[in-house]
Amino acid sequence: MEFRASHILVKDRKLAEELLKRIKGGANFSALARDFSTCPSKSKGGDLGWFGEGAMVPAFEQAVKRLSSGGISPVVPTQFGFHIIKKTGSR
């Protein structure tokens, strides 16, 4: 199984929670990723492309697996910081 997802990665949980509220209120995920994410994927609106099982850290992968396509995760903490994940596909 492969997944496709975008994410916003920030160092501060409070900022992540605020961004999640904005997304749930209708803000554009890609625009927020470009403006706030610390990941190099921010230049692509947070798009990580396709990845297989085991390619991401366990907490990130588990969150992606639980989402339906188009779904937005709660804030997911990892050793890299705090992620907001949008699942954009699976195959």
Q: How many CA atoms lie within 13 Å of 23's alpha carbon, on the beta-carbon side?
A: 23
Distance between CA atoms of 25 and 52, rounded to whole angstroms? Answer: 31
Mind listing the pLDDT tens digit for each residue in 9-62?
Answer: 999 999 999 999 999 999 999 999 999 999 999 999 999 999 999 999 999 999
CA–CA distances in Å: residue 5 to residues 35, 36, 69: 18, 17, 9
Architecture of domain 2-90: Roll (3.10)
Q: What residue segments make up the domains of the chain, in order of their start?
A: 2-90
pTM: 0.96
Distance between CA atoms of 26 and 79, rounded to whole angstroms? Answer: 28
Which tokens is 73 given? 């995760």
